[in-house]
Structures are given as C-alpha cells and as structure tokens.
C-alpha cells in the first residue's frame, strides 16, 4: 500500500467514526429531551390534580388549574 492509499483509508475511517459519534450524540440528545418532556407532562398533570380538589379556600389559595389543552396533555403516556 502506498502512502496515499494509507492516507485515503485513514481519512475514510476517520469520517465513519465521526459520523457514528454524531449519531450517538443525536440519539442521546433526543433521549434527554424526551425525558424532560415526560417530566414536564407529569408535573402539569400533578399540578392540575392537586389544584382541582382543594378542600379549603381562602384568599391565599390558588385557583383550580385550567390548562387549555388538558386533553392533549393527558393523552401522553406517563
């Protein structure tokens, strides 16, 4: 193998490694984003449940949480 062939082979291998690393990083970013989304939906559902059935009302109480798209939020799996 000549020096040029070795350089070419190393360049191709390097590009493949970089491409695989980029794919792994994108998959990790998607996984983290999905986790944040799930946690946000769970928090909104919890807040809605907690604020919907308060047994005491005063001027310090928060009003019931009315989310405009509550049915969409509840359609996501927990």
Query: What is residue 11's DSSP assignment?
Result: H
pTM of the model: 0.52
CA distance 40 to 73: 10
pLDDT of amino acid 78:
55
CA distance 25 to 75: 29
pLDDT tens across the length of the chain (78 residues): 677 776 667 677 777 777 888 888 888 998 899 999 889 888 888 887 877 766 667 777 777 677 676 666 667 665
């Amino acid at each position: 193998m000549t020096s040029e062939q070795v350089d070419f082979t190393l360049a191709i291998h390097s590009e493949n490694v970089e491409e695989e690393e980029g794919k792994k990083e994108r998959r990790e970013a998607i996984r983290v984003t999905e986790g944040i989304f799930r946690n946000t939906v769970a928090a909104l559902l919890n807040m809605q449940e907690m604020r919907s059935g308060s047994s005491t009302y005063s001027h310090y109480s928060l009003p019931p949480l009315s989310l405009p798209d509550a049915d969409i939020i509840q359609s996501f799996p927990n």
